[in-house]
Structure 1
Amino acid sequence: MADNTRTTPPRPLDVAALFPELVPYRARTVRLHPRTGRPGLLDSSMGGPLLWPESEPWPHCSEGHPRTAFAPPKGAGPQPLVPVLQLYAPDVPELPFPEGTDLLQMLWCPFDHEPFSSPRPELYWRDSGADVEPLTDPPRPEGARADYVPDPCVLHPERVDEFAAWDLPDTVFDALEDRFDEVDEETGWSYWSHLSVAPGVKVGGFPTWTQDPAWPDCEGCGRRMEHLLSVPSREFDGESWRSWVPEEDVPATGTVFDLPYEERSALQGAPGLMLGDMGGLYVFVCAVCPDLPFAYRHDCS
């Protein structure tokens, strides 16, 4: 884990004071702030090496893939998954680690899958203290496009509070819609872009939906599953940057959009992902069922 920190500025307006009806819809999220780096096996990372036992087969995908631009070459056999996230408990203790584990690893198949035309993730919960020989040269997929294979990044976990946006009940939204518009006109701060849901790769809180919410229900117990993490294409966009770019990344003069393209890309999309049209992938778990089942969703503009 790098020593650098990332600090999200305070919300430019007091959301709870302006809209007290939103207090029940406040949540804590952990922004991970991936930045290009060289993480090691014992680091929390995105797209970095995994502490994977050499004795355990590396996961491959043998499912069928739709013939899109993000499909394996014709005739290719089962394709190895690629590392997406590795999260150690000391860095993100908020994760619902099953008993005896302190490490979450998420990999995905870097080719389109139905029903979302997106990568398909898999989760692995481990005991990082287990005495195993780590795998040092995992297999790589054949013909995967860079948009679905995250570049190695170090993480800078940061806890922030956020307020529901797409997930507000219709009755609450209807009651506040005009006031949201009035505040935007009076102050220039949009509830949707600047005051509500934190963008970027994150754990917990609310998903960074780009379309209507699509929460999954647990197939085992029927309860609505909990948001585990969001992996969107970008850390901020042309609107949200005004209030969500970390203080450490604000240039001395101008804004992040005045930076050269390469410098801005290193802040806005260090992992190099593009999931559909500026979309994201969202992972959910059922913390009630003992085997911690998970599901995922994908959306895009």
Structure 2
Amino acid sequence: MHTTPPGPIDVPTVFPPVARFARTTVRLHPRRGTPTVDQSSMGGLLWWPADEPWPTCDGPDDFDHLDHGPAEPEVPLVPVLQLLADDVPELPFPTGTDVLQVLWCPFDHDPFSAPRPELRWRRRADIGARRQEMPKPDGEADPEHIPDPCVLDPERVIEYPGYDLPEAVWPQIRDTITQVERDTGWEYETDLAVASGTKVGGYPGWTQLPQWPVCRCGSTMQHLLTVASWEFSRGDEKRWIPLEDRPAMAGWDFDSPDDHPWRALQSPAGLMLGDAGGIYLFVCTKCPDRPYDYRFDCA
């Protein structure tokens, strides 16, 4: 069980213009472990049909595998997330599916100099015989782009927009933000708005200006999920570290040695995407085949 502590500020009461932008996000709380193939997981085994070829990068071309010389074809994708409808029913599963799988090529790709993800929506009852082993990652891939196996503990949290807050709203709350920070030390954007870490739904944790993709049908895509390098970073740690993990943080500091327990809480999957960045996946729920796109940013 992981419990995000409530903030000391009731956002709808203190910042009324923000209340209508509230969204529920599902914090996945990855933690190092040994998930089984029939569990929701990060970096774990995937429920993959035995008769379906394992996906590979569609390179080589000049925009694949940046900074690694000529791209080699047929580099196997690596598993990133497997999410079951039993655990995260909030996902916009296409009719007749109950599993979402996210994989990516662990090399950097244009246009974002980051791993390039792919999605699979499945129905468990249709999978039949399952693949018993997954291909080993390419030996030249950056190990910090290959998530270590983690179990998940989904938790629902209400969040509010930071960068995605409409420009017209900021003048209405700017003075209150300053007053709250002066009186309590709590900051709107880091402590009260967008939840940190790997999560489903809610708002992307942009560190740059938002870049919401538009579907071919003309609709703005919906934020499907975020895969984050860190579950918290300097400045947002006092709000987004679960209560159950607080004892392990005793004596922590960002200069603490690598073997301090807090580091496994901050980066349980061992990812480092750019400079502690995140990959944001988007999907169009108006189209039945669920077209998707992604964005990447970092500090």
- Alignment TM-score, normalising by the size of structure 1: 0.93
Contact preservation (8 Å) 1:277, 1:300: yes
Q: Does 1:213 align with 2:210?
A: yes
- Partners of 1:50 and 1:246 lie apart in 2 by 27
Q: Deviations over 1:131-175 (max 9, x none)?
A: 511112222232111111000000000001001111000010132
Unaligned stretches of 5+ residues in structure 1: none
- Partners of 1:89 and 1:150 lie apart in 2 by 22
Query: Number of residues paired by the alignment?
Result: 294
**What are the equivalent positions in structure 2 for 1:166-245 lying under 5 Å apart?**
166-219=163-216, 221-245=217-241
Match of 2:282 in 1: 284
Two-structure CA RMSD over aligned residues (Å) = 1.6
Q: 1:106 aligns with which of 89, 102, 108?
A: 102
Q: Does 1:26 align with 2:17?
A: no
Q: Deviations over 1:45-68 (max 9, x none)?
A: 000000000100000012234564
Match of 2:13 in 1: 17
Q: 2:77 aligns with which of 65, 76, 81?
A: 81
**What are the equivalent positions in structure 2 for 1:21-100 lying under 5 Å apart?**
21-63=17-59, 64=61, 65-66=63-64, 68-69=66-67, 71=68, 74=70, 76-100=72-96
- Partners of 2:288 and 2:182 lie apart in 1 by 49
Shift of 1:128: 1.0
Fraction of identical pairs, as percent: 51
Shift of 1:88: 0.4
CA separation of 1:159 and 1:130: change in aligned 2, threshold 3 A: same
Contact preservation (8 Å) 1:118, 1:298: yes
Q: Does 1:251 align with 2:272?
A: no
User: Which sits farther off after the overlay, 245-254 or 44-53?
Assistant: 245-254
CA separation of 1:198 and 1:255: change in aligned 2, threshold 3 A: farther
Unaligned stretches of 5+ residues in structure 2: none
CA separation of 1:226 and 1:75: change in aligned 2, threshold 3 A: closer
Shift of 1:120: 0.6
Q: Does 1:160 align with 2:157?
A: yes
Shift of 1:242: 0.4
